[in-house]
Amino acid sequence: MKITFYGHACLLVEHDGKRVLIDPFLSGNPASVIQPGEIKADAIVLTHGHSDHFGDTVEIAKRNDCPVIAVFELAGICQAKGTKSHGMSIGGAFDFEGFRVKLTPAWHSSSVRDGDHIIYAGGAAGVVLTMGGKNLYHAGDTALFSDLKLICEFHDIDAAALPIGDNFTMGPEEAVLAAEWVRPKVVIPIHYNTFPVIRQDPFAFQTAVEAKGIACRPLAPGQSLDV
C-alpha cells in the first residue's frame, strides 16, 4: 500500500492500480502541492462534510466518474450535487472492487455549507481502508475517546493518520495516547500547520510517539510512504 499525503487530511492510497482518495481538500488548501484536475481516483472516501475535508470532492468525482463513499447523509448530498455515491453508516464495512472500507466512530461534527445554509451531513467518521492486505486507519477530525481501543481488536493497523492540530481535533498529547491505543506500525500526523490556529511541531510529536516504541513519519505535502 502506497500512501501519499496531499496536505491537511488528504491522503491518496494506492495498491495494484487502485487509487482511493480520502478528504480531497486541495484547491483551497494553502499547503496543497497538487490541483484537483491532476488527481486520478477510483473512489473518494470522506470522513465528514466540513469544507477542509469535502474540498474538491464533487469536481474530482465527476471528472473521474468515481463514487463518493461516506456516511449516508453526506453521500446523499454528493449524489444531489451530481456524483455517484455509496452511503454507509458508522460501524459498517463494505467490500469494493480492490479495497474495503469500514467507517468507525469519531467525536466531531459534520455539515456541508451551501451559501447561507448549513446542511446536516450525518455523523463524523473515521475510516479503516484495507488494500492489498494492509490496513490504513484515518481518524478524521476526532477528539480522543477511549473506544479507539476497539479498532485494533478487529484490525492490525499498518498505518494510522492521526490529527495533531488541536482546536478542531485532538492535539498532539492526545494523539500520542491514541497511537498507543490503536497500536499502528507507523503514525502519520495530519491536520496541522494548514492554518495558524492549528500550528504544531510534527517532529516534537514524532519524538513523543517514538518514545512509546511506535514509528512516526511526518510527511511533507506530496511525499509518499510505502507500508
What are the residues binding Mn ion (CB under 5 A)? 52, 141
Least CB distance to Mn ion at residue 50 (A): 5
Nearer to Mn ion, 165 or 227 (CB): 165
- Residue 42 or 52 with smaller CB distance to Mn ion: 52
Residue nearest to Ni ion (CB): 50
Q: How far is the CB of 133 from Mn ion (least distance, A)?
A: 29
Q: Which is nearer to Mn ion, 52 or 73 (CB)?
A: 52
Residue 99 or 205 with smaller CB distance to Mn ion: 205
Residues within window 124-163 making contact with Ni ion, judged by CB under 5 A: 141
At its nearest, how many Å lie between Ni ion and the CB of residue 211?
29
Contact status: 50 vs Ni ion (CB under 5 A) = yes
Q: Of 45-53, 74-82, 148-156, 159-167, which segment contacts Ni ion by CB under 5 A?
A: 45-53
Phi-psi region of 115 (alpha: psi -120 to 50; beta: other; left: phi over 0): left
Report the residue number, 141 or 174, with the smaller CB distance to Ni ion.
141
Q: From the CB of 130, what's the least distance to Ni ion, in Å? A: 24
> Does 23 participate in binding Ni ion (rule CB under 5 A)?
no
Three-state SS string over the chain comes to CEEEECCCCCEEEEECCEEEEECCCCCCCCCCCCCHHHCCCCEEECCCCCHHHHCCHHHHHHHHCCEEEEEHHHHHHHHHCCCEEEEECCCCEEEECCEEEEEEECCCCCEEEECCEEEECCCCEEEEEEECCEEEEECCCCCCCHHHHHHHHHCCCCEEEEECCCCCCCCHHHHHHHHHHHCCCEEEEECCCCCHHHCCCHHHHHHHHHCCCCEECCCCCCCEEEC
Least distance (Å) between residue 108 CB and Ni ion? 6
Binding site for Ni ion (CB under 5 A): 50, 141
